Amino acid sequence: MLRVIQWAVVCALGAAGGAAATMAWHAQRSGTAVDQCNAASSDEGGEQTELARTRLALAQESAARAAVQKTADGAAADAARLNAEVQFLRGQSKTRPPASRR
């Protein structure tokens, strides 16, 4: 059961790391070049572009959280199933008559 939880945590951290790396990559690609340091005019097109980027980042974060939640739900279901099996096996071992010793 502990291994299942450990794997769930590793998967969750991997998904979160992947989402962060993807967002960083998109932020790096969408940035302007260093030699283009002109004063940016605050037009509606730029605001719409920034809004679109923010919406994309939010959608990516939501997808990453959903993946982590799905992994956590699966791990919880596995842990519950394994716990039920352990309880069953413990009950079986208590009802068995002791083996005869020679």
**Rounded Cα distance, 30 and 56, in Å:** 12
Q: What would the DSSP string read from start to end of 2-61?
A: HHHHHHHHHHHHHHHHHHHHHHHHHHHHHSPPTT--PPPP--HHHHHHHHHHHHHHHHHH
Instruction: Going residue by residue through the chain, which has 102 residues, state the pLDDT in tens, using 9 for 90 and above.
Output: 667 677 777 777 788 888 878 888 777 787 644 444 555 555 678 899 999 999 999 999 999 999 999 999 999 999 999 999 999 999 988 876 666 655
Residue-level pLDDT at 6: 72
Residue-level pLDDT at 45: 84
Question: Which of left, alpha, beta for 40 (phi over 0: left; psi -120 to 50: alpha)?
Answer: beta
**Rounded Cα distance, 57 and 51, in Å:** 10
Residue-level pLDDT at 12: 78
Cβ-contact 11, 74 below 8 angstroms: no
Identity of the residue numbered 55: R
